[in-house]
Amino acid sequence: MTVTIVMKHKKEKFADPPNFTEKKNYRPSDVKETGLVFVGHEVSEDRTAMNQFLHYDQLYTIRHGWNSKFFIGLLEGKIMGTRCPKCGDSWVPVRTHCWNLNCKLERTEWVEMPLTAKVHTWTVAGWSGRSSLKRLPIILVYAIIGTSKVAMANELHGMNPWDVEFEMPLKIVFKPKDQRVGAVTDFHFEPADFWKPSPMNPEKQRIKDLVTPVYEWVKTLK
């Protein structure tokens, strides 16, 4: 018996492919994208142990999809949040569907947030990942932007690390337009213009003592 399959309809697409017209490439020249390569080995003197060096260099594409407006907003110097039309909760970082179970994953709408925030909690980093070491010490804050129900992490610049305070008012400052990459590092927090640090106290002195060697150590890097 022969079975003939007839394709009655063209495969239906969920969405038309986006037409990417604005393209930028700022890949450093040392990103080789070599894939997997054995680049060396070592053998112990007694020839009982061996280590092998495997290099892997691979480019990833993060497809932001429904979250794209947030990252495009960064390119434009805006903080885009989302808001649930049913319960009114809003968020930065964004949620494309409401977190409230009663809202049954309601699709949210985009809202532009003010460029002001308030410190929820903070820390002063003296150590970090490989790509951040030279920027140490770093004040990292979790801050609430505008009406957001959640706090967002980012760096706080423009002040001594030991002066950071809970609840301190912040402004959001973007990098110059030509330096933006559409990532959260396009902006940082700075103290609001009207804010003044409080006088030195024992905790501030303790932080100052802890970060002093960090400044010295960073000078020795490369």
Binding site for Zn ion (CB under 5 A): 84, 86-87, 98, 100, 103
* CB 93 to Zn ion: min, Å: 16
Closest CA to 159 of 132, 175, 137: 137
* CB 207 to other proteins: min, Å: 6
Residue tagged 């301190």 (tokens): 168
From other proteins, Zn ion, none, which one binds at residue 170 (CB under 5 to 8 Å depending on kind)? none
Residue 135 in the binding site for other proteins (CB under 8 A)? yes
* CB 122 to other proteins: min, Å: 6
Residue 153 in the binding site for other proteins (CB under 8 A)? yes
**Contact residues for 24 (Cβ-Cβ < 8 A; gap 6+):** 181
* CB 123 to other proteins: min, Å: 4
State the binding string over 43-82 for other proteins (x if CB under 8 A, else -): ------x----x-x-----x-x--x---x-----------
Buried b (16+ CB within 10 A) or exposed e, 188-222: bbbbeeeeeeeeeeeebeebeeebeebeeeeeeee
- The distance of Cα 48 from the centroid of its chain, to the nearest Å, equals 45
Q: Are 114 and 146 in contact (CB under 8 A)?
A: yes
